[in-house]
Copies of this chain bind each other. A is one copy, B any other.
Amino acid sequence: MSLNAPLGVVKRHIQRADRAATDELAKYGVATVHEAQGRIGLLQSYMRPIYPGAQVSGTAVTVLLHPGDNWMLHVVAEQIQPGDIVVAALSSPNTDGFFGDLLATSFKARGARGLIIDGGCRDIKTLKEMDFPVWSRAISAKGTIKATLGSVNIPVVCAGMIVNPGDAIVADDDGVVVVNAADVRKVADAASAREANEGEKRAKLAAGVLGLDMYNFRQPLEKLGLKYID
């Protein structure tokens, strides 16, 4: 949860990250984007896709939920614009099934590309058939109530990482990474350069060149005292 989180507030107008750059991030994937922006922005590794293979990017609309209460997911639905990814944080740890196929139908109709939720998700099979990807802390069918106000489009902490509304989100089989709205163009370019660069390295390594030589590691390792014995 964000410390400053005003409860009971829905922010309607947020500054979304540049669309073209955000959309471009999907193809680089989570690991490359994470490296390209200086090894920051990763959500904790317990966030896993409910089915393998999805790889998406989009702009974050955020929502803060309370344990066992999914009411605000209906409130956030109205704020979704095409190209968004919903990021749901919890005020304390809970694995109930906050999200299922009905909400997914609504989110998809609004143009959402996926959901990142630091809680549980259900209707896994149907979500896969619908091709609506979710990254969650747990899979659980446990029903939730509609009783307490949270907030929409405030900064949240989701799985250990700050997400501001409008930030870019990238998610794939490796997990989830967030990119500052202001940095997406720069990060997309860095990711593109990195990928080009990796292609060359990959070819060398595939041909049998060792990282020890390609990266010039032998000298610093020797300097630190690495010894080869028989």
Contacts and interface: CB of A to CB of B under 8 A. Distances in A.
A170 to B, nearest CB: 10
A100 B35 CA distance: 12
Give the interface size class of chain A: 35 or more
A157 interface: yes
Interface in A1-33: 1-5, 7-13, 29-31
A139 interface: yes
B161 A157 contact: yes
Interface string A206-230: 1110111001010001001111111
Contact of A174 (B109, B122, B147): B122
A224 to B, nearest CB: 5
A193 interface: no
Q: Which 9 interchain pairs have the tightest Cβ spacing?
A: A74-B211, A67-B68, A45-B140, A147-B147, A106-B205, A31-B141, A67-B67, A124-B173, A141-B174
Interface in A106-154: 106, 108-110, 120, 122-125, 138-143, 145-149
Interface of A: 1-5, 7-13, 29-31, 34-35, 38-42, 44-45, 48, 51-53, 55, 66-69, 71, 74-75, 77-78, 91-97, 100-103, 105-106, 108-110, 120, 122-125, 138-143, 145-149, 155, 157, 160-164, 167, 172-175, 177-178, 180, 198, 201-202, 205-208, 210-212, 215, 217, 221, 224-230
Copies, count? 6
Contacts of A120: 45
B157 A9 contact: no
Contacts of A29: 123, 125
Contact of A229 (B11, B142, B221): B11
19 contacts: A3-B40, A3-B178, A5-B40, A8-B225, A29-B125, A39-B91, A42-B141, A45-B138, A53-B125, A67-B96, A68-B68, A75-B217, A77-B210, A91-B142, A93-B95, A97-B174, A125-B172, A125-B173, A145-B148
